[in-house]
């Protein structure tokens, strides 16, 4: 496939995908956002009630606490199932590492919260995960370092001294204050919730795993793309193409409002263009089999270019989706907003009519005799105000019957309809004062029925989006393994190399800890512990079984880290607090320090030897000079003696 053919296929997939430039899906999501924010419907009349009910927002916000408690209250969201008895320990360790990478190394709460809420509100919540190889820099400040410690810091290949100050303490020892900029080259896992209007998928797709096309469409500046290494001339030629049309997408306008377009005439580097990260299945090599490829495209319409095109090694695009009400054989199902949208509309109409009736009953219309009433006084309605009239019979009120009370049963029926659709009731929110007059059994049945609906949403989330996320993250860690990582798990530091993991397909999703009665869950855990106490006499219960029940009890109380209250049976009590990874790091540091000291000693010896050689050469040169002076003096003395010798005898004779 030529580059032009691939570009044409890619552009066609983007423009034909769901969510591109304001289709029916975009209109539905824009309407859900408008109902969530309580925006006017557009049929309001001046002088009449314009109230807007908030059923969509109330329902979504009532479901979110249960979902947050299910997925973010415990230490684990999922656990990998072992494939045999010998795989139990490895499966537990991989479970802890994957949960740690997601929940501890990322802002998991904010990401998962937005992900789950997008599903409730916009029919589908999408989360993106990837491996970030970009180096990170961190500034570290050190004070009171000795010479050896400073030398060790300077020898660190990941650190660069940015500032240094030497001084001496009271004892005269040399000390150093230093600032080091540490560059971390190792990559890390990243996750990010994708706004619904930025996610594209093929219309015929049933899921992300087998979708012919999946894309993430974002705005990027010319500066961003040039800094990433793309050709400046190409990027500047694409900048700004089709931007205004895309920014006018209905759901984008509902989310951000009609913001004034930024003028970039004076700053071309900040001009924006649409960039789409694409994952599509295409027969690029001509063998008759479609392969999954990753491409990066910029621009749209006539100004469209493919910036990157390479095979994708993963089994699917790195996205995970959540839908609270799936529709079989379709990617997009229904949202909670779809379930209560009509109820909010009907309640809005009823409430407006009730308020209008109340306004007219309290301040009815009046019949007046022309020229017999001061109209200014009449139009100024205030408590205790005066109306000047020429005849007491010149004013008569039109009687308005108060009928708003007859609408209350209709409102109650609509509330019941909403409860049946969503499972959100006034009982599980603690809002019904009359619940004390009902039997405990009746209340329990109502709450259990409503909890089942909420647990169904949580189960759907867990078995679809969260399951795909954890399997994808596990595979991503395996792919980028090859070096040991020191990870704090269960209050212990362990050395882990994900490159040695086996590929996982089975996992268990933990759902249900956030819904239902917490007291009932604690009572169940205590009952199991009591039974285990009795069965321990028969050898049917071991430390691992007791710890598992205790862990469930701690989770039911809402606490974390059960290892703080009971020792894990797999922990080695005889092991020192330092882990193998820390011991290895310490040994390497000590070896590096010893090598550094040896190098310093060798350098000092060589310097001393060179100094001695220099002194010897200096002595030899000095002696040569002294010898030369001595020879010159002897020669002069000899010459002087030779001159005086002949004159003596002649004088004597």
Arithmetic mean of pLDDT over the chain: 80
Q: Are strands 125-132 and 159-168 parallel, antiparallel or unpaired?
A: unpaired
Residue 262 tokens, joined: 């930024």
pLDDT for 653 equals 34
- At residue 512's C-alpha, the angle toward residues 507 and 514, to 5°, is 125
Q: Give the C-alpha distances (Å, rounded to integers) separating 59 from 65, 413, 428.
A: 11, 16, 12
pLDDT for 652 equals 39
pLDDT for 97 equals 86
Distance CA 238, CA 225 (A): 11
Identify whether the C-beta of residue 423 lies closer than 8 Å to the C-beta of residue 452: yes
Q: What is the 3-state secondary structure (H, E, C) of 95-124?
A: HHHHHHHHHCCCCHHHHHHHHHHHHHHHCC
pLDDT for 382 equals 80
pLDDT for 578 equals 43
Burial-class residue 328 by CB neighbours within 10 Å (0-12, 13-18, 19+).
exposed
Q: What is the pLDDT of residues 162-174, one digit of tens each?
A: 888 999 888 888 8
- Treating both helix axes as pointing N-terminal to C-terminal, what angle do 336-362 and 408-422 enclose, rounded to 10 degrees? 170
Q: What is the pLDDT of residues 418-472, one digit of tens each?
A: 988 888 877 655 444 444 344 445 545 555 666 788 888 988 998 999 999 999 9
Of 8, 7, 11, residue with least CA distance to 20: 11
pLDDT for 647 equals 45
What's the pTM value of the predicted model, to 2 decimals?
Answer: 0.73
Residue 468 tokens, joined: 């795909």
pLDDT for 192 equals 96
Name residues whose C-beta falls within 8 Å of residue 508's C-beta, 6 or more positions apart in sequence: 78, 79, 80, 81
pLDDT for 609 equals 59
What stretches in the chain show pLDDT beneath 70? 21-22, 74-75, 185, 240-248, 258-266, 427-450, 482, 486-492, 507-520, 558-561, 563-564, 570-653
Identify whether the C-beta of residue 453 lies closer than 8 Å to the C-beta of residue 422: yes
Instruction: Look at the block and give the residue holding tokens 């010159």.
Output: 632
- Treating both helix axes as pointing N-terminal to C-terminal, what angle do 108-122 and 55-72 enclose, rounded to 10 degrees? 140
Q: Are strands 136-145 and 174-184 parallel, antiparallel or unpaired?
A: antiparallel
């Amino acid at each position: 496939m030529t580059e032009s053919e691939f570009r044409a296929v890619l552009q066609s997939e983007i423009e034909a995908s769901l969510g591109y430039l304001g289709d029916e899906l975009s209109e539905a999501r824009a309407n859900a956002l408008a109902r969530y924010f309580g925006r006017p419907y557009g049929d309001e009349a001046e002088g009449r009630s314009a109230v807007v009910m908030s059923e969509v927002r109330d329902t979504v916000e009532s479901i979110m606490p249960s979902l947050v408690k299910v997925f973010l209250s415990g230490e684990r969201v999922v656990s990998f199932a072992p494939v045999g008895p010998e795989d139990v320990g490895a499966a537990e360790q991989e479970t802890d590492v994957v949960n740690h990478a997601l929940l501890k190394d990322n802002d998991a709460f904010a990401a998962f919260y937005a992900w789950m809420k997008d599903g409730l509100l916009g029919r589908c919540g999408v989360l993106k995960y990837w491996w970030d190889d970009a180096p990170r820099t961190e500034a570290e400040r050190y004070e009171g370092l000795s010479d050896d410690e400073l030398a060790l810091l300077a020898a660190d290949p990941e650190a660069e001294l940015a500032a240094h100050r030497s001084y001496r303490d009271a004892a005269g020892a040399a000390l150093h204050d230093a600032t080091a900029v540490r560059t971390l080259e190792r990559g890390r896992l990243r996750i990010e919730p994708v706004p619904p209007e930025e996610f594209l998928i093929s219309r015929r797709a049933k899921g992300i795993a087998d979708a012919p096309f999946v894309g993430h469409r974002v705005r990027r500046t010319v500066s961003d793309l040039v800094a990433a290494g793309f050709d400046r001339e190409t990027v500047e030629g694409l900048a700004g193409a089709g931007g205004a049309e895309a920014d006018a997408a209905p759901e984008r306008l509902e989310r951000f409002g009609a913001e004034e377009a930024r003028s970039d005439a004076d700053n071309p580097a900040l001009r924006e263009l649409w960039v789409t990260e694409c994952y599509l299945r295409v027969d690029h090599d001509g063998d008759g089999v479609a392969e999954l490829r990753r491409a990066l495209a910029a621009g749209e319409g006539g100004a469209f270019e493919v910036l990157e095109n390479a095979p994708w090694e993963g089994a699917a695009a790195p996205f995970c989706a959540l839908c609270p009400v799936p529709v079989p054989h379709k990617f997009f199902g229904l949202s909670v907003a779809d379930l209560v949208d009509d109820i909010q509309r009907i309640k809005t109409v009823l409430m407006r009519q009730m308020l209008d009736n109340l306004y007219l009953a309290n301040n009815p219309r009046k019949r007046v005799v022309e020229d017999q009433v001061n109209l200014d006084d009449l139009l100024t309605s205030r408590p205790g105000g005066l109306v000047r009239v020429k005849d007491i019979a010149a004013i008569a009120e039109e009687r308005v019957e108060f009928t708003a009370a007859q609408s209350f049963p209709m409102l109650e029926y609509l509330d019941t309809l909403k409860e049946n659709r969503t499972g959100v009731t006034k009982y599980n929110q603690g809002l019904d004062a009359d619940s004390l007059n009902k039997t405990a059994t009746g209340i329990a049945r109502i709450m259990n029925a409503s909890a089942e609906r909420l647990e169904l949403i949580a189960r759907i989330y867990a078995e679809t989006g969260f399951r795909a996320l954890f399997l994808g993250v596990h595979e991503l860690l395996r792919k980028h393994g090859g070096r040991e990582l020191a990870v704090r798990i269960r209050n212990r530091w362990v050395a882990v190399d994900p490159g040695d993991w086996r590929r996982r397909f089975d996992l268990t999703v933990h759902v249900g800890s956030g819904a239902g009665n917490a007291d009932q869950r604690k009572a169940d855990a205590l009952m199991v512990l009591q039974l285990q106490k009795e069965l321990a006499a028969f050898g049917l219960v071991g430390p691992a079984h007791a710890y598992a029940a205790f862990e469930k009890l701690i989770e039911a109380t809402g606490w974390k880290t059960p290892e703080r209250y009971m020792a894990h049976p797999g922990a080695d009590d005889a092991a020192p607090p330092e882990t193998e990874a820390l011991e290895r790091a310490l040994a390497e540091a000590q070896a590096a320090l010893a090598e550094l000291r040896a190098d310093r000693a060798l350098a000092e010896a060589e310097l001393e030897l060179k100094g001695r050689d220099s002194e010897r050469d200096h002595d030899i040169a000095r002696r040569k000079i002294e010898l030369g002076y001595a020879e010159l003096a002897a020669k002069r003395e000899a010459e002087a003696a030779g001159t005086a010798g002949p004159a003596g005898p002649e004088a004597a004779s």
